[in-house]
Amino acid sequence: MQRFQRAEWFNYGRWVQPPLSGCFWSPWYAAKSVKETFPGITFHPMLFLDGNSLTKISDKHAMIEHIENMVKNNRVNEFIERVHKVGTNVKQNHLDVLVVKSNKMEYLETLFDTYQEMAGFWWMVLQLADEVEAYILSANPKLDPKEVVKQVEALRELTWLEEQSADVKKIAEMIRKINPEITATEINYHFVLQNESVSDAIREHVKKYEWFGTHHWSGEPYTSAKCLEEVKRAFGKEVSHEKKNPNAKDSMPLLQLMAELSFWRTHCAEVTAKVVFSSRPRLDKMANENSLTYEQLLYLSSREIISYLKQGKTLPNKMPERKEQYGHYFDEDGVDHLFLGNELKQLLDQMVEKHETNVKELKGQVACKGGIIQGTVKVVISPNDFSHFKEGDILVVPETTPDFIPLMKRAKAVITDRGGITSHAAIVSRELGVPCITGTLKATSVFKSGEKVEVDAGMGIIKKL
């Protein structure tokens, strides 16, 4: 067994996902995108244990030191340009997978290689964003967090999902103009079929955002029925025509950096979701050729798939032994380590802190204000948990990603372990007007699905009832 010391590691949270997704995270440090963003700094592999994302504390300290040096030497703007350039290149390389003609093996290798680059850049951004936000608030104690949010939101580039939400509101606005007297409940398939312009708008919208709601190689496609439900929710709401001001010159450079990182921590998820979903027909075909379902294919790592295919071997079904839980580590020598059974259990006992279950109250940052809310908790840490979420539940997650948005739209409140006032959960919650508390550190461990809680979305306090 690999030798690990808990004191050397920091757990960023738990995101349960199948190996085809999960095994990309440990080698984040080896991505060219990370090395180009942080030349001269050597990071380390992630230890991924049943979704727990453990990174070296020394990597965390290296990022903090880098932030301090940037500020001291007035090089923040230079770093922003580098992040933007690297992110744009990594994004384009990944999207190019969809337009470059190639045979099966070339396609798979390019898909996996460019996804690995996205995953490395993505994980780097997630870590760095947390540290930059913490630095801004600690170095500027008189700076109102509301002002941080205001400036970051003004500076940040729009994500695809914000554009998707705006498009839904425009379709609702179109319907209102066609029939000013219509109510949301009257917007149905019959109405859509009777109005060609609405039908065309929904069809084009679904085609453009067919990947919406998918993530980590899983999830169901966006459909006309789902779009229609969103239109009904948006009906009666005003379309915001407020212009962002990405060229503001009066904001401090660190806030501009925060805006850049805030954009990429969501946009990386959007880009990978689009590319992977568009690749599913090829992946489905490959699974069928090996007598596997698509879900069974997800329980092999990308490196295993390539290795088996190059050797001319049939892809095995590893789902039964890996579905319950697994661990992964990609060491500095380029060796894959997959942990199962007793070895995984020992590592989890050794490396993952057990939170006290008798905790009755937690506090976090208010990302979107609201009143006193009572409701039923649903803890969602895996795509398999999505189907259990009901309208009006209180969503408790490690940190939201784009696939959580359909749940967030139905949630009474959102609570996260990780992230701050400029995280994905914070941004989307403010867009939706859903009360949100971020950065509780251990909400997914303290609260259990089915428990009743009271959320004070003004003070940032969650209590068990």
Torsion angle in degrees (nearest 10) through CA of 32, 88, 119, 271? -150
What per-residue confidence (pLDDT) applies to 251?
72
Residues in the chain: 465
- Using DSSP bridges, classify how beta strands 394-397 and 413-416 pair: parallel, antiparallel or unpaired: parallel
Torsion angle in degrees (nearest 10) through CA of 445, 262, 421, 361? 0
Q: Where are the domains of the chain?
A: 6-157+250-351, 160-234, 361-464
Which residue type does 157 have? E
What per-residue confidence (pLDDT) applies to 126?
92
What per-residue confidence (pLDDT) applies to 70?
95
Q: Both tokens of residue 247? A: 């060229």
In order along its 465 residues, the chain shows pLDDT tens digits of 568 999 999 998 888 899 999 999 999 999 999 999 999 999 999 999 999 999 999 999 999 999 999 999 999 999 999 999 999 999 999 999 999 878 889 999 999 999 999 999 999 999 999 999 999 989 988 888 888 888 888 899 999 988 999 999 999 999 989 998 888 888 888 888 899 999 999 999 999 999 998 988 988 899 999 999 999 988 866 544 454 554 555 678 999 999 999 999 999 999 999 999 999 999 999 999 999 999 999 999 999 999 999 999 999 999 999 999 999 999 999 999 999 999 999 999 999 987 666 888 899 999 998 889 999 999 998 777 888 899 999 999 988 887 888 889 889 999 999 888 888 888 889 888 899 999 898 888 889 999 999 999 999 999 998
Order of strands across the sheet that contains 436-438:
361-363, 461-464, 452-456, 372-379, 394-397, 413-416, 436-438, 365-368
What per-residue confidence (pLDDT) applies to 249?
53
What per-residue confidence (pLDDT) applies to 63?
96
| CB neighbourhood size of 372 (10 A) | 12
Which residue type does 344 have? L
What per-residue confidence (pLDDT) applies to 148?
86
Nearest to 98 by CA among 319, 294, 280: 280
Secondary structure of residue 375 in the 3-state scheme? strand
What per-residue confidence (pLDDT) applies to 153?
87
- CB-based contact 377:450 (threshold 8 Å): yes
Task: Give exposure, 260-291, as e/b (b: 16+ Cβ within 10 Å).
Answer: bbbbbbbbbbbbbbbbbbebeeebeebbeebe
User: What's the Cα-to-Cα distance from 71 to each of 59, 132, 134, rounded to whole Å?
Assistant: 19, 11, 14
What per-residue confidence (pLDDT) applies to 465?
87
CATH 3.50.30.10 fits domain 361-464: yes
| pTM: predicted TM-score of the whole model, two decimal places | 0.90
DSSP result, 278-341: HHHHHHHHHHHHTT--HHHHTTS-HHHHHHHHHTTPPPP--HHHHSS--EEEE-TTS-EEEE-H
- CB-based contact 345:445 (threshold 8 Å): no
CA–CA gap between residue 358 and residue 292 (Å, rounded):
43
What per-residue confidence (pLDDT) applies to 2?
63
Query: CB burial class (10 A; 0-12, 13-18, 19+) of residue 382?
Result: middle
- CB-based contact 8:58 (threshold 8 Å): yes
- CB-based contact 359:446 (threshold 8 Å): yes
* Helices and strands, number each (H, E), in the chain: 18, 13
Q: Which residues contact 271 (CB under 8 A, 6 or more apart)?
A: 91, 94, 95, 118
